[in-house]
C-alpha cells in the first residue's frame, strides 16, 4: 500500500504539489451510537492517516486520484457540482468541494492526489480522513481561514448530503480536532470538546486495534433503522434527543416505551454515562480502570443495541480471557474493529490468543496494530 503521496501526484499530474496535508483515522475509546443522539464521545486519532498532495488550478476544474481508488483520474468541473454528480470513492472529496461552495467559501479548482494507510471500512473512519484531508488542503490553498471544528462540520455535511451517508459528527470532529497524546471528549450537541491527556506508555498500557476484516451486509440498513428507532423513542418521551434522558430516569423512561425501543434507550443512556465515567477516570489519572468500562460498553452494544457480530464478540471475549484489561467493538457494528486495553507486556500474548481463536473458528486472520493517540489534521509539507 503506497503512502508516498508526492509520487502519486507526480505520476498522475506531473510536476509537484503546492503542499501536502494529512488527516488521521480514529479510534473511539467509548461513546458508540451516541453521536446521533446528541450525546458524548471520546475518540483519539490514529497514527494512520490519509495524505493529500494538492495544487490550485485556476480553471474551475478538479482532478482527483487515489492510490487506494480504482486507479484512474477522476475529473469534473466545479460548475454544476451537485449531490450524485461524482460517483464512487471520489464522491467524498467532491462532496467537500460542494459543501464548501454551498457554505459560500470561495474555492476554485485543484489537483489532489491521495494516499492512505487507514484501513477502509474497518470502523476507523477512512472516509472522514479522506474528507478532512481534503477540507484542510482546500482551506489552506484558498486561504479560507476555517478552524478545525468548522472544517469537520463541512466534511460531515459532505458525507451526509453529497455521499448520502447519515453519519453523526464523531468521525470528522475526531479527524480534525484530535491532539497527540490525548483523547478528545466531545459533546456532540454543543460541539464543544476538551482534550483529555492519555499518556498510556507512561503507565505501561497499550491500546490494540484488531480489525476483524469482516463487514456484514446488514450494516447499512440497520444503522438507518437504529437511528429511526432512537428518534421515535425521543419523540415518545417528549425529549429532543435520547441524550436528554438522565441515567437516574432510565427505569421510568423505559416504562413509557414499547418493548422494542427499550434496549435502544438503555444503550444510549448507559453509554453516555460510560463516556462521562471514562473521562473522570482519565482526569483522575487512572486509565487502567477504563478496562471494565470498555467491556461494559461492548456488552451493551451486543445485548441491547445488537450491533455486534460473532467475530467482534469472539475478539472481545478472547482478549479479555487472555488477560486484557477490557475490550469492545468500535464503529457502527456488524464487523469492523475491536479496541483492546492491555498491559504493554501482555500485548503480544493477547494478540496471539485472538489470532488462534479466529483460526480455530474458521475466520480469516485479523489485522492487529497498536493505536498511539496521534495528531489530528495537519500540514505535512
Nearest-angstrom CA–CA distance, 214 and 2? 23
Return the number of other C-beta atoms located less than 10 Å from residue 225's C-beta.
12
| CB nearer to Mg ion: pick between 26 and 273 | 26
CA neighbor of 122 nearest in space, from 311, 353, 347, 323? 311
Do 296 and 29 form a contact (C-beta atoms < 8 A)? no
Which positions are annotated as active-site residues?
Answer: 171
Q: Name which of ligand ADP, Mg ion, none residue 69 binds, using a CB cut-off of 5 to 8 Å depending on partner kind.
A: ligand ADP
| CB nearer to ligand ADP: pick between 66 and 308 | 66
User: Out of 37, 127, 295, 318, which residue is the one contacting Mg ion (CB under 5 A)?
Assistant: 127
Q: Name which of Mg ion, ligand ADP, none residue 160 binds, using a CB cut-off of 5 to 8 Å depending on partner kind.
A: none
DSSP letter, residue 365: P
Q: Which three cell numbers stand for residue 131?
A: 474528507
Do 56 and 47 form a contact (C-beta atoms < 8 A)? no
| CB nearer to Mg ion: pick between 28 and 127 | 127
Cα torsion 2, 20, 376, 170: sign:
negative
Phi, psi of 191 (to 5 degrees): 60, 30
Q: Name which of Mg ion, ligand ADP, none residue 135 binds, using a CB cut-off of 5 to 8 Å depending on partner kind.
A: none
Interaction of residue 172 with Mg ion, rule CB under 5 A: no
Which residues form the interface with ligand ADP (CB under 6 A)? Answer: 50, 66, 68-69, 89, 92, 114, 116, 120-127, 130, 331
Q: Name which of ligand ADP, Mg ion, none residue 50 binds, using a CB cut-off of 5 to 8 Å depending on partner kind.
A: ligand ADP
Do 2 and 11 form a contact (C-beta atoms < 8 A)? no
Instruction: Annotate each residue in 74-113 with x if it binds Mg ion (CB under 5 A) or - if it does not, as one string.
Output: ----------------------------------------
Nearest-angstrom CA–CA distance, 145 and 178? 19
State in angstroms the smallest separation of the CB of 202 from ligand ADP.
Answer: 30
| CB nearer to Mg ion: pick between 25 and 366 | 25
Q: Where does this chain bind Mg ion (CB under 5 A)?
A: 127
Amino acid at each position: 500500500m503506497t503512502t508516498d503521496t508526492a509520487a502519486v501526484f507526480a505520476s498522475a499530474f506531473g510536476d509537484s504539489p503546492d503542499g501536502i496535508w494529512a488527516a488521521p483515522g480514529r479510534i473511539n475509546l467509548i461513546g458508540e451510537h451516541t453521536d446521533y443522539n446528541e450525546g458524548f464521545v471520546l475518540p483519539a486519532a490514529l497514527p494512520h492517516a490519509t495524505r493529500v498532495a494538492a495544487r490550485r488550478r485556476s480553471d474551475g476544474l478538479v482532478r482527483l486520484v487515489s492510490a487506494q481508488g480504482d486507479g484512474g483520474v477522476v475529473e469534473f468541473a466545479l460548475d454544476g457540482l451537485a449531490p450524485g454528480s461524482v460517483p464512487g470513492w471520489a464522491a467524498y472529496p467532491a462532496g467537500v468541494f460542494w459543501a464548501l461552495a454551498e457554505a459560500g467559501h470561495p474555492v476554485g479548482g485543484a489537483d489532489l492526489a491521495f494516499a492512505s494507510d487507514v484501513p477502509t471500512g474497518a470502523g476507523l473512519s477512512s472516509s472522514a480522513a479522506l474528507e478532512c484531508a481534503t477540507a484542510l488542503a482546500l482551506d489552506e490553498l484558498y486561504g479560507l481561514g476555517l478552524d478545525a471544528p468548522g472544517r469537520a462540520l463541512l466534511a460531515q455535511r459532505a458525507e451526509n448530503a453529497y455521499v448520502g451517508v447519515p453519519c453523526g459528527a464523531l468521525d470528522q470532529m475526531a479527524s480534525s480536532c484530535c491532539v497527540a497524546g490525548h483523547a478528545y471528549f466531545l459533546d456532540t450537541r454543543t460541539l464543544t470538546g476538551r482534550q483529555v491527556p492519555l499518556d498510556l506508555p507512561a503507565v505501561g498500557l497499550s491500546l490494540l486495534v484488531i480489525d476483524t476484516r469482516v463487514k456484514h451486509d446488514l450494516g447499512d440498513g440497520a444503522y438507518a433503522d437504529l437511528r429511526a428507532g432512537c428518534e421515535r423513542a425521543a419523540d415518545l418521551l417528549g425529549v429532543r434527543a435520547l441524550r436528554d434522558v438522565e441515567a437516574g430516569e432510565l427505569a421510568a423512561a423505559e416504562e413509557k416505551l414499547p418493548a422494542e425501543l427499550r434496549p435502544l434507550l438503555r444503550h444510549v443512556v448507559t453509554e453516555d454515562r460510560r463516556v462521562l465515567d471514562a473521562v473522570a477516570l482519565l482526569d483522575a489519572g487512572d486509565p487502567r480502570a477504563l478496562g471494565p468500562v470498555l467491556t461494559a460498553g461492548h456488552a451493551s452494544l451486543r445485548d441491547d443495541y445488537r450491533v455486534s457480530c460473532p467475530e467482534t464478540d469472539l475478539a472481545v471475549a478472547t482478549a479479555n480471557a487472555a488477560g486484557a484489561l477490557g475490550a469492545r467493538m468500535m464503529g457502527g457494528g456488524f464487523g469492523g474493529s475491536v479496541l483492546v486495553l492491555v498491559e504493554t507486556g501482555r500485548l503480544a500474548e493477547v494478540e496471539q490468543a485472538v489470532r488462534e481463536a479466529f483460526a480455530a473458528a474458521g475466520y480469516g486472520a485479523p489485522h492487529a496494530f497498536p493505536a498511539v493517540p496521534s495528531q489530528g489534521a495537519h500540514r505535512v509539507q
